[in-house]
A and B are shown apart, each in its own frame.
Chain A
C-alpha cells in the first residue's frame, strides 16, 4: 500500500501520530478521529496480558494489524487511511466481546 500524499497534511516523512493504550479489556481513547492519509499508531499495552491491535475499514477489510503487544511494550503501526468509519479491535479470543473495540473516524 503506497502512501497517499495529501497536500493539506504535509509530507510522508511526518505521519500524524496517535497514541493509544490497550488493557483489560478496552482501548483508550475509545473514539479517535483523524484526517485521511498516513497515520502512525503508537499502541502501549498498559494491562497485564497480551493484546493485539487491528484496524478494519468500512468494508470490514483489515488494513493494519499489530499481531502481539506484550504488557508494558509499545508497538507501532503506520497505515494510510481513506475517509470513512473504521473499527479498531483486539482479535484475541474473547477480547473484542469483553470491550476491546474503539471507533476510528477518518474525515477531512
Chain B
C-alpha cells in the first residue's frame, strides 16, 4: 500500500475520533446506559487505532510497581513514574489512549478490589457522614468531561539547564501530562448527600496507597462542575495505575490534587494541613516566602505549556515537513501558538486544530522546509485570558510549574 493511502486512512480515523471527542465534550450528564455505549464505542475506536503492540506484558516494573506494560518505546522510565514519549502522539487523535498515558505513583499501584472498596465521607464539614460502595458510586448522577491531568513537576528537568542545579524529584521533560475523557460523579453530588455545611472550608481526599496521599482542596474547587469522582477513563473502567476503583479529577489543578485510589474524603470547617500542602507541592526558593504552616506558596492551578510531537533530540530527514505539537492551559482555551525554528530570533503563528477544549489541550502544526543542521524548536502558547508562556521561571527546590519556553533539540540530516 502506498504511503498516501495510509495517510488518508489515518486521517479519516483521526477525524472520526475527533468528532467523537468533540461530541463527548458537550455530553455532560449522560446516563448510565450511555456510559455502557461509550465503553463500546471506545473499544471500537481502540481496535481501529494503530497503536503498536509493543508491550506483550514483558516489561513489568521491578516489584510490580505498575500494573500496565510500560515498554521503553512508549515511556521514559523513572521507576514508579513513567513519562509519555511525545513522539507517540504524533498525528494521533485528541485523547491519549490509556496504554500511553503517563503514570505518576508516589509509591506503587495498590491492587484494590471493587467489591470491598468503600469511600468514607466524614469530618466537621458534613452533617451526615456517609460510606459508599462502588455500586453506590455508579448509581449516582454521571457526567463525562475531557480534561488534562498533569504532574506539578512536569518539565522539572529544565530547571537544571536554566540554573545549573537540579530540583528534587523525577527529572521529567514534558511528558507528564495526558488528556482523557473522564467519567464519574460530580464531587458536589457526594458532598450534598453527606449534608455539606455552609461553613465547610476544605475537602481532603485521601488515597489508599502506601503513602496515603492527602492533598486538601478548597471547598470552592470541590464544588466546581467538572471536579469529579472518576471511575472510567476513555470509556473503560479506570485502570489500576490511574486510580481504580475511584480517583479525583480536579481540572487545571496540579496532578497531586487528582488523588488516585481515593478511600476517604475529609470535609472540614477548619483549613486542613498535611505534608502534602505544607512541605511538598509548595514553592520553595529565593523568590518565594514561607506561608506558615506551609514552607511556601501552596500550588493550586498549573501553568500554560507546549510540547512538540517530535522525538526529543531526534533526527528527521531534510525536506518539507509538517511539525506538530500541543498546548494547554488551566485557565481556558489556547488562542495562539507561536513557533520559532531559529532559536527564538523570529516567530511565526502555528495553525490550531479543533477541538480546542478548555483545560484539555489544542493540537497545532506548521509546515517547515527543513534543511540539514542542528535545531532548537520553540513553541509559545497564549490562552484566552492572555496568559503567555514566559521566557524564564524562578527556581524552586522541588521543581514545580516550569512552563518557560524551551528549546526542543532536533537534527535534520541530509
Contacts of A24 in B (CB 8 A): 107, 210
Most buried by B among A24, A67, A95: A67
Segment at the A interface, from B6-14, B52-60, B76-84: B76-84
Q: Beyond A91-B397, A93-B256, is A71–B168 a contact (Cβ under 8 Å)?
A: no
Tell me if A68 and B281 are in contact (CB < 8 A).
no
Contacts of B211 in A (CB 8 A): 93-95, 97-98
Segment at the A interface, from B30-38, B258-266, B272-280, B337-345: B272-280
Say whether A70 faces chain B, with CB atoms less than 8 Å apart: yes
Say whether B65 faces chain A, with CB atoms less than 8 Å apart: yes
CB distance from B157 to the nearest CB of A (A): 9
Bound CA span A11–B276, Å? 43
CB distance from B104 to the nearest CB of A (A): 10
Bound CA span A94–B206, Å? 13
Bound CA span A50–B276, Å? 17
Say whether A83 faces chain B, with CB atoms less than 8 Å apart: no
CB distance from A86 to the nearest CB of B (A): 18
Bound CA span A103–B212, Å? 25
Say whether A21 faces chain B, with CB atoms less than 8 Å apart: no
Which residues of A49-89 are within 8 A (CB) of B? 49-50, 52, 54, 62, 65, 67-68, 70-71
CB distance from A43 to the nearest CB of B (A): 14
Contacts of B61 in A (CB 8 A): 48
Tell me if A92 and B108 are in contact (CB < 8 A).
no
CB distance from A85 to the nearest CB of B (A): 20
CB distance from A11 to the nearest CB of B (A): 27
Say whether B111 faces chain A, with CB atoms less than 8 Å apart: no
Tell me if A67 and B108 are in contact (CB < 8 A).
no
CB distance from A23 to the nearest CB of B (A): 11
Say whether A16 faces chain B, with CB atoms less than 8 Å apart: no
Say whether B146 faces chain A, with CB atoms less than 8 Å apart: no
Output the nearest chain A residue to B215 by Cβ-Cβ distance. A93
Q: Beyond A71-B62, A93-B275, is A50–B170 a contact (Cβ under 8 Å)?
A: yes
Say whether B63 faces chain A, with CB atoms less than 8 Å apart: yes
CB distance from A61 to the nearest CB of B (A): 12
Contacts of B275 in A (CB 8 A): 93-94, 96-97
Most buried by A among B168, B256, B398, B399: B168
CB distance from A66 to the nearest CB of B (A): 9
Q: Beyond A91-B397, A94-B211, is A50–B80 a contact (Cβ under 8 Å)?
A: yes
Tell me if A49 and B169 are in contact (CB < 8 A).
no
Contacts of A98 in B (CB 8 A): 210-211
Tell me if A93 and B79 are in contact (CB < 8 A).
no
Output the nearest chain A residue to B108 by Cβ-Cβ distance. A49
Bound CA span A50–B62, Å? 12
Bound CA span A2–B210, Å? 41
Tell me if B279 and A50 are in contact (CB < 8 A).
no
Contacts of B108 in A (CB 8 A): 48-49
Say whether B171 faces chain A, with CB atoms less than 8 Å apart: yes
Bound CA span A55–B77, Å? 27
8 A/B residue pairs, CB under 8 Å, sorted by A: A48-B79, A52-B168, A67-B166, A67-B169, A70-B78, A91-B279, A93-B279, A97-B211
Pairs A-B, 7 closest by C-beta atoms: A67-B166, A93-B280, A94-B211, A49-B80, A48-B63, A67-B168, A49-B79
Known pairs A48-B63, A49-B80. 12 more at Cβ < 8 A? A24-B210, A49-B79, A49-B105, A67-B168, A67-B171, A67-B399, A68-B168, A68-B170, A70-B78, A93-B256, A93-B276, A98-B210
